[in-house]
Amino acid sequence: MESIAVFNTITYPIIKLRIPRNNIKNEEGKYVFVGKVYGLMNINDDFSKVLDFLENFTVLNQDELLSADDGIYNWIMYSEENSNNIKFTAIQIQSAYEIGTTHQSLAYNKKVNASLIYGAGELKKEDKKITFNVVSGTYTYNIQVSKFDFEKVITQKIIDKFIELLPESTYDNSNVSYVHSIITVSNKLLELYKKNGFIFRLFEEYNDWAKFTNNFWRIDFNIEYFKKKIDNKEENEDIMRTLYMEALQSMINLLEPTLLKS
């Protein structure tokens, strides 16, 4: 079976924040913002911390999955180094932010130790019923959108192998991600994010959430943009440094009033 990706080096951020398509609320029904300020603590800079963080999430083989909680999961089929034995593992997507539960995170979880990836996607578990797709931006996106016959053959091999491992499962060819149906996040998970370099804020009103969200990402973009200009030693470095410091101050001004509410 053709491999889709080979893990020799770390080529992506293993811990990554996805920006949800829908509004997310916590257990009390408050609007949730989760973000990461550019340039501050980045857990991906320390591989040992990445591995420790990933231990907070349970990975399951196909037998364990059948008795697990209902929900949305990411899955991969993989082999370990120096082995041709194809294994299956899945991890529950506990929030639409997917911090620690992306396919990349799953592959690097110490309990998985993937070397070759043969397929990846999402699955939806409802009692004993499992519906799955091959939606994965990291691994299967190129073959999903391809119109070439040889790519379609690879996709079919992934589907056949999945059904071999989980015979009662049903393939969903809609290519619509299940992640967008996850619209809540637990307070416990938000605290875990916070301990590992992310920030979160809670809002009673949608308009307050929307205003904060727009301002945060606008300022964060400016911080990153001006910092890269400085690092690349481009022209007008003094001006770029001034604008960078102004952007940092704007972020401080934005975050300070909400510190006691987080």
More confident residue, 26 or 142: 26
The sign of the dihedral angle between the CA atoms of 219, 225, 231, 237 is negative
- What is the average pLDDT across 87-97? 97
What's the CA gap between 119 and 81, in Å, rounded? 16
What's the CA gap between 143 and 126, in Å, rounded? 27
What share of the chain has pLDDT > 70, as a percent? 88
- Mean per-residue pLDDT over the chain, rounded: 89
Quick check: 258 pLDDT over 70?
no
More confident residue, 84 or 186: 186
What pLDDT does 9 receive?
A: 40
Q: Which amino acid is at 122?
A: E
Q: What confidence category does residue 212 fall into, taking pLDDT thresholds of 50, 70 and 90? A: very high
Q: What confidence category does residue 213 fall into, taking pLDDT thresholds of 50, 70 and 90? A: very high
What pLDDT does 2 receive?
A: 65
- Running DSSP on this structure, what letter comes out for residue 69? P
Task: Determine the distance from the C-alpha atom of residue 68 to the mean position of all C-alpha atoms in its chain, rounded to a whole number.
Answer: 21
Contacts of 156 (CB under 8 A, 6+ apart): none
E strand residue ranges, the chain: 5-6, 31-35, 59-60, 71-79, 87-92, 116-126, 129-132, 170-171, 199-203
What's the CA gap between 147 and 110, in Å, rounded? 36
What pLDDT does 13 receive?
A: 84
What pLDDT does 8 receive?
A: 44
- In angstroms, the Cα distances linking 92 to 71, 75, 102, 160, 227 are 7, 9, 10, 22, 36
Residue matched to tokens 């996607």: 121
Cα–Cα nearest to 198, from 67, 41, 59, 77 = 41
Contacts of 204 (CB under 8 A, 6+ apart): 30, 31
What pLDDT does 262 receive?
A: 46
Burial of 85 (0-12, 13-18, 19+ CB in 10 A): exposed
- What is the average pLDDT across 125-153? 72
What share of the chain has pLDDT > 90, as a percent? 70
Half-sphere exposure of 149 (CA within 13 A, CB side): 0
- Helix, strand, or coil (residue 138): coil
Quick check: 136 pLDDT over 50?
yes
Strands 129-132 and 170-171: parallel
Q: What is the pLDDT of residues 14-39, one digit of tens each?
A: 999 999 989 999 999 999 999 999 98
What pLDDT does 209 receive?
A: 97
